Amino acid sequence: MARRYRVGVVGFAHMHVNELVERLAATGRCDFVGVADTVPATPSLTEVEGSRRANLARALGAPGGPRRFGEWRGLLEEGLDLVIFCPEISQHAEVAEAFAGRGVHLLTEKPLAGSVADTDRMIAAARKAGVALVTNWPITWRPAVRAVKAIVESGEIGEVVQFRWRNMASLGPMAHGSLHPGSTTIGLVSEAEKASEWWHQKAAGGGALLDYCCYGACLAAWIVGMPQEVRAMAVNLMSPGDAEDNATLLLRFPRAVGTIEASWTSFHNGVPNGPIVMGTHGTLVVDGPKVLVFTERGSAVPSRVEEGVALPEGRGTIGEEMLHHIETGAALHPTLDVALNREAVAILDAGRRAAETGVAVVL
């Protein structure tokens, strides 16, 4: 008989917690014991879809009929096997250390942390306890992104000389209008409601740099390798709070350069968000679910179109991959593993410091 898992959920700041709960629930092997939110620095003023209060209410319907705890540390006494934790990024390390100390496997949402120091705290706690520490990325499950890595490794486009990433069109968290409780029409979220959410608070780990540059950092480290130097600019153009709503990182690799753009003010991009990888013999452009492969000089038409790379059977979701890793010890997909996630955080940390000082940060 397949093993069952006692699961807790701590922190509902990040709306991606909903995906993690649903994917683990879909395995049919998880009983959700309890849920609890962390205490935000500023009380949330909204219950719209995607807000922390809405996320918590949604988790209460998970299999097992989880009980709501007023204090998240109460879940430490519940004999959990696994905890999903999605508080504001500034609280990742504290929560991870506490549960690792009780021998609980750890699953969180990107990015793993907001600094290398916090990342190392989490990794040390997980290694000492012998538990898994896994970071989910929505891009991991995109076949086209996985295909880019395979094509680069095949040598088809030659040596990589340039990497680009830009997030999809976005006006920031909950800015597109979300359903208010009891409403059937999508309404605008007020500036006060947005400002009360951690996303717009720098000290909590909010801002476009961590939110969206993290994707480019993860993919750059995976596809190209670690950069030697990071330059950056981060500004707040029109968002409430003190966190930036636009950021750009410039990466210098040993034999390549990279650009990572993040924006909460882009109504429409007009161009693929990527990743875009340019090599000495060709270029790869991720456009939606496909990879456009250009290997003919001067041609505006791709030489071919790659549909993507499939994942192994039974490992096609974060829920399946998490349980498979716990039970078999098999290596995770690289983007989920702590080694690559530490590198991604190192790039982000360097980018944050470079934006604050105006000086390039050497890694």
Domain ends where: 114, 138, 162? Answer: 138
**What pLDDT, in 10s, does the model give residues 152-166?**
999 999 999 999 999
Question: How many domains does the chain contain in total?
Answer: 2
Confidence of residue 182 (pLDDT cuts 50, 70, 90): low
The burial class, CB within 10 Å (0-12 / 13-18 / 19+), for 255 is exposed
Provide the pLDDT for residue 79. Answer: 98
Same domain, 181 and 106: no
Choosing from 82, 109, 138, the residue where a domain stops is 138
81 with 192, same domain?
no
- Contact between 239 and 258 under an 8 Å Cβ cutoff? The reply is no
CATH number, position 156: 3.30.360.10
| Bridge partners of residue 277, in order along the sequence | 163, 284
Which of 138, 156, 188 is a domain's end point? 138
85 and 159 in a common domain: no
Residue 58: predicted pLDDT? 96
Taking alpha carbons only, the member of 201, 140, 131, 152 closest to residue 172 is 201
Same-domain status, 115 and 187: no
99 with 183, same domain: the answer is no
> Which structural domain range is residue 217 located in?
140-313+343-362
Decide if 323 is inside a domain.
no
pLDDT score at 119? 98
Residues 6+ apart with CB under 8 A from 254: 225, 228
* Whether residues 106 and 180 fall in one domain: no
Q: Which of 38, 35, 87, 104 is nearest to 63 (CA)?
A: 35
Report pTM. Answer: 0.95
Q: Give domain status of residue 334, yes or no.
A: no
Residue 319 lies in a domain: no
Q: Are residues 98 and 118 located together in one domain of the fold?
A: yes
| In-domain check, residue 336 | no
